[in-house]
Amino acid sequence: MEEDSHPEGRESKGHITLEITQLEPTQENPITLYLRKELEDISFPCCIFHVPTKFRSQKEDACEPTLVSIGPMHHGKHHLQHMENHKWKYLHSLLNRNLTSDTTLESCIQALKVLEPKIRACYEEDLSHIPSDKFITMILLDGAFIIELFLRCYVRGLRTRDDTLLKSREKFHSLANDLILLENQIPFFVLRRIFSLIPLPKQCDKSISELSLKFFKKMILRDIHVLHEKYNFDGSNHLLDLIWKCYLPTFHKVPLVSDSSLGRNIKSASKVQESGIKVRSADAESILDVIFVEGKLLIPSLRIHDHKHMETVLRNMIALEHCYGEKMKYVTSYAYLMRSLLHSEKDVRLFYRHRILLDFVKNKKEVVNLFKNLCEDVDLDKFYYEGMWEELSKYKRTMWEFWFYKLKRKSRLIIREKGMCQTTLVLLFAVFILLGALAVILFLFLRHERHES
């Protein structure tokens, strides 16, 4: 029987088999081929990178997927093969929501063929060893898997009884982790293109960027509705880039300082407070919105559900920022700032006391090590908080404010060590304040008498 000249899908043992007709190669001058490749590289800038060696050596398991491979960099690895069956099932579900599944499949394949040069150019790795048909099949399977996963998370009625991915919390967390790894990405425009061609369930009224935000809601730590109105997520490079945009501070531009080394001499949180500056939690849009105002270092509250998960998210965003090159390294700056502020368990306790850290953990050293490990061997040429820390370093409290703070702190220590009651503390404060007020009145009276004489 003669094969159809068009690509089509057929079911075989519960799968869809993709048949992609290879286009006849044309004879071209080698110079033409070289110039075309160079032009493609310029037109479609690279955005999916290998994690730099210095980051990978720190913690390799935060760079490589444990459950599912997305894109070519980890495709075919033995320990990820069991997920390929899930991808075929998800593709089947995605295409068979109407009676034109064959037409939809062919439309997706042809669309990806057109986009293939652009897709390949997005990867830092040379992918010329992967044939066109295998490459398109891989990209379609991975893209369809992500879209169907997001749809099933948004519309509960689409879930099936045999879908173990959404039944196990451990598997779901591993899956979410894998989808934000720098080396485990496909371009976001691929998701948008496939999403525009597939039949959507009636219950879904969201765009692919909105579904992405909803899926990663716990990871983002911000109001996703506000975010969607503020940023153009459709223009994201990939899912990790989308998450990175969600972490950006409210104010992207900061004033430059003359002495770039000044802001790097960051004290620990307890030492900052000992100098008379208050360290407090703040309501802010982004956890990166750390500010210094009127003698207060205001730090947005951070909820760390899972230290390992948080480290994976931050580590991959830091790697992404360093691969992007000249851009301001916002997340790297935040990690550097937190590493300096949380120098010891004493600083962690201070953060918990003022509700800057919201999730209590018995081992305070874990929190210290989280940020310490993130910044190990990390070069930071542009520090986002440079100007803020310059203001803090130059800030001087009045003598009255400084000694009042010292007195209050000493009183707390006395209570803790001697077991004095709260009422005694209040009386002590009242006496000291009264004596202080009398001293000020006496000083003003004597000064007035001197002027009169």
Segment 395-399 mean pLDDT: 60
More confident residue, 251 or 40: 251
As a whole number of angstroms, the distance between CA 209 and CA 225 comes to: 11
More confident residue, 234 or 431: 234
As a whole number of angstroms, the distance between CA 335 and CA 416 comes to: 33
Q: State yes or no: pLDDT of 59 exceeds 90.
A: no
Q: Which residues of 36-49 are buried (b: 16+ CB within 10 A; e: fewer)?
A: eeeeeeeebeebbb
Q: State yes or no: pLDDT of 256 exceeds 60.
A: no
Q: 169-201: per-residue pLDDT in tens?
A: 899 999 999 999 999 999 999 999 999 999 999
Q: Tokens standing for 178?
A: 């894998």
What is the separation, in whole angstroms, between the first and last Cα of the chain?
A: 121
- Residue 25: its pLDDT value, please? 46
Closest CA to 9 of 115, 140, 177: 140
> At a CB cut-off of 8 Å and minimum separation 6, what does 270 contact?
343, 344, 346, 347, 350
Q: State yes or no: pLDDT of 4 exceeds 50.
A: no
- Residue 399: its pLDDT value, please? 43
* Beta bridge mates, 299: 281
- Residue 334: its pLDDT value, please? 96
56-65, 178-187, 339-348 — which is least confidently predicted?
56-65
Closest CA to 248 of 322, 334, 177: 334
Q: State yes or no: pLDDT of 107 exceeds 50.
A: yes
Segment 1-7 mean pLDDT: 43
- Residue 5: its pLDDT value, please? 41
Q: State yes or no: pLDDT of 397 exceeds 90.
A: no
Range of 156-165, 176-185, 251-260, 327-336 with top mean pLDDT: 176-185
Kindly tell me the burial class for residue 207, based on how many C-beta atoms sit within 10 Å of its own C-beta (0-12, 13-18, 19 or more). Answer: middle
Number of other residues whose CB lies within 10 A of the CB of residue 406: 12
pTM (predicted TM-score) = 0.80
Number of other residues whose CB lies within 10 A of the CB of residue 407: 15
Q: State yes or no: pLDDT of 412 exceeds 60.
A: no
As a whole number of angstroms, the distance between CA 111 and CA 109 comes to: 5
Q: 279-310: per-residue pLDDT in tens?
A: 999 999 999 999 999 899 999 999 887 788 88
Q: State yes or no: pLDDT of 102 exceeds 90.
A: no
Segment 358-379 mean pLDDT: 84
Q: Position 281: which residue type?
A: S
Q: State yes or no: pLDDT of 259 exceeds 70.
A: no
Q: State yes or no: pLDDT of 24 exceeds 80.
A: no
* Beta bridge mates, 300: 282
Integer-rounded Cα Rg, in Å, for the chain is 29
Q: State yes or no: pLDDT of 406 exceeds 80.
A: no
- Residue 263: its pLDDT value, please? 45
116-120, 197-201, 223-227, 328-332 — which is least confidently predicted?
223-227
Q: Tokens standing for 346?
A: 């004493």
Segment 149-162 mean pLDDT: 93
> At a CB cut-off of 8 Å and minimum separation 6, what does 202 contact?
none
Segment 62-80 mean pLDDT: 97
Average confidence score pLDDT of the chain: 84
As a whole number of angstroms, the distance between CA 280 and CA 450 comes to: 44
More confident residue, 92 or 307: 92
As a whole number of angstroms, the distance between CA 310 and CA 210 comes to: 22
Q: State yes or no: pLDDT of 222 exceeds 90.
A: no
More confident residue, 80 or 434: 80
Sorting pLDDT into bands at 50, 70 and 90, what band is 262?
very low
Segment 71-83 mean pLDDT: 96
Query: What's the Cα-to-Cα distance from 251 to each of 89, 99, 220, 231, rounded to whole Å?
Result: 44, 49, 18, 13
